[in-house]
A and B are shown apart, each in its own frame.
Chain A
Amino acid sequence: MSGFDKVVHSYEEAMSGLTDNMTIIAGGFGLCGIPENLISEIKRKGTRGLTLISNNCGVDDFGLGLLLPDRQIKKIIASYVGENAEFERQMMSGELNVELTPQGTLAEKMRAGGAGIPAFYTATGVGTLVAEGKDERQFKGRDYILEESITADFAIVKAWKADRYGNLVFRKTARNFNPMAATAGKITVVEVEEIVEPGQLDPDEIHTSGIYVNRLIQSTFEKRIEQRTTRPSGE
């Protein structure tokens, strides 16, 4: 295959080069669209001192929560960290450094980071703890704070389908932070449910271009549901 072929065949290969104290951006919202097998590989490797940038931090026994018991995470930048007892314990005891960031600001930090924009002004967080220590400026009579963008040593991403060139298609709300995460990693690793040959995806339907993707691996997924909520059938 050509130099555009991003497919790797083992998780060891997918996460090779990840070492202690690196930063990782992870896609996913709650447990939806998380790169669950790449997270398991980081747990297996035992890499420590990591800074994670992710909207959430999983639950106690799934997702990024798996990296907590062995104290692999030094710092996390997230918007909501509610559903995780061990997380709360490590945060309260000061073992884990937590930087709470508004969700839209977090998404924009990743997007801007991937797009080569070092910082941006936003009204989100003005007059709150989030604004502390940040540059403030008025535009058209309204206050804004300056937020710096984010990039990372690795980005770990879950997509639905890909071609070998790393062109990605996401499925439903499993898209969430994944497209921005994909743009913001020095090395972007993507795991998918299906890999097809180049040309088999309609170029109009590709959500993320292969230019952002360095490594691609096919796998199966548990896709755990956090809040299974249903209505009776026949209603």
Chain B
Amino acid sequence: MALSRDQIAQRVALELQDGYYVNLGIGIPTLVANFVPKGIEVMLQSENGLLGMGAFPTDDDVDADLINAGKQTVTMAKGASIFDSAESFAMIRGGHVDLTVLGAFEVDVNGNIASYMIPGKLIKGMGGAMDLVAGADNIIVTMTHASKHGESKLLTNCTLPLTGRGCIKKVLTDLAFIEIKAGKFHLLERAPGVSVEDIIKLTQGELVVDGDIPEMKFS
């Protein structure tokens, strides 16, 4: 069975380490915050100028001056700090963030990512995504493996305008956990109940399957 959005987030959360500074993109990546493993502390960076993002506020605590990068009202965690946008992107572009999780439309075998624009259809802008993919070393892309029409999103070459070139090494889809190296996709794990054949069928770019591929675990 393909993973739910929550299950994708849960699997990503296993990649967190104690003491990590983490930037979570909008959508599935945001859900990762709900599955931080017990006994581990992470600090969430929000690129509008907050390190140490807390839970959503109660009605009484809503503060128009305190939002996250998705423009949602939030609170501050213990030990939080506030800074301006240039400083925020100094953290990101300077490689100080330990893990970045973000969504995408397409990823290809060379680690290119397209996530911000569908010409003629969706032109909203890249926000901080180009800075995040260029600045971070440790990035996990979360997305569905294929479109609703069964078209693969893991390609030989991205077809949409790129967000970044050669910067993605790990992709977690609703079917598989995949590593990108030396111009190929490598299958690391498969979603429970999903066969290697199913994954091969829905992966357009070259996929290396080396030996037995384990099923994903979530804790």
Interface residues of A (CB under 8 A from B): 29-33, 55, 78-82, 88, 91, 98, 100, 102-108, 110-111, 122-130, 160, 170-180, 207, 223-233, 235
- Docked Cα-Cα span, A102 to B67, in Å, equals 20
B50 within 8 A of A: yes
- Docked Cα-Cα span, A31 to B49, in Å, equals 14
- Docked Cα-Cα span, A125 to B46, in Å, equals 20
Flag if A30 contacts B93 (CB, 8 Å).
no
Most buried by B among A30, A88, A173, A235: A173
What residues of chain A lie closer than 8 Å to B127, measured between beta carbons? Answer: 79-80, 102-103
- Interface segment, B1-9, B80-88, B178-186, B205-213? B80-88
Q: Size of chain B's interface in residues, with CB distance under 8 A?
A: 52
8 further interface pairs, Cβ-Cβ under 8 Å (given A30-B67, A179-B86, A229-B74): A103-B126, A104-B135, A105-B130, A128-B164, A176-B49, A224-B64, A228-B72, A231-B57
Flag if A172 contacts B56 (CB, 8 Å).
no
Query: Looking at the complex, which one of B56, B71, B162 makes contact with A31 (CB distance below 8 Å)?
Result: B71
Given known contacts A32-B67, A104-B128, A230 and B62 CB-to-CB distance under 8 angstroms:
yes
B219 within 8 A of A: no
Query: Looking at the complex, which one of A123, A176, A235 makes contact with B85 (CB distance below 8 Å)?
Result: A176
B137-153 CB mask vs A (1 if < 8 Å, else 0) is 00000000000000000
Query: Looking at the complex, which one of A111, A124, A128, A179 makes contact with B93 (CB distance below 8 Å)?
Result: A124
Flag if B123 contacts A128 (CB, 8 Å).
no
B197 within 8 A of A: no
Flag if A128 contacts B59 (CB, 8 Å).
no
B41 within 8 A of A: no
Flag if B165 contacts A126 (CB, 8 Å).
yes
A78 closest partner in B (C-beta): B125
B18 within 8 A of A: no
- Docked Cα-Cα span, A124 to B70, in Å, equals 21
Q: Can you sample 29 A-B contacts with CB below 8 Å?
A: A55-B85, A80-B127, A91-B123, A98-B123, A100-B125, A102-B127, A102-B128, A107-B84, A110-B86, A111-B86, A123-B93, A124-B131, A124-B134, A127-B112, A128-B162, A129-B117, A130-B126, A130-B130, A170-B84, A173-B48, A173-B68, A175-B83, A178-B84, A180-B84, A180-B86, A207-B84, A223-B64, A229-B56, A231-B56
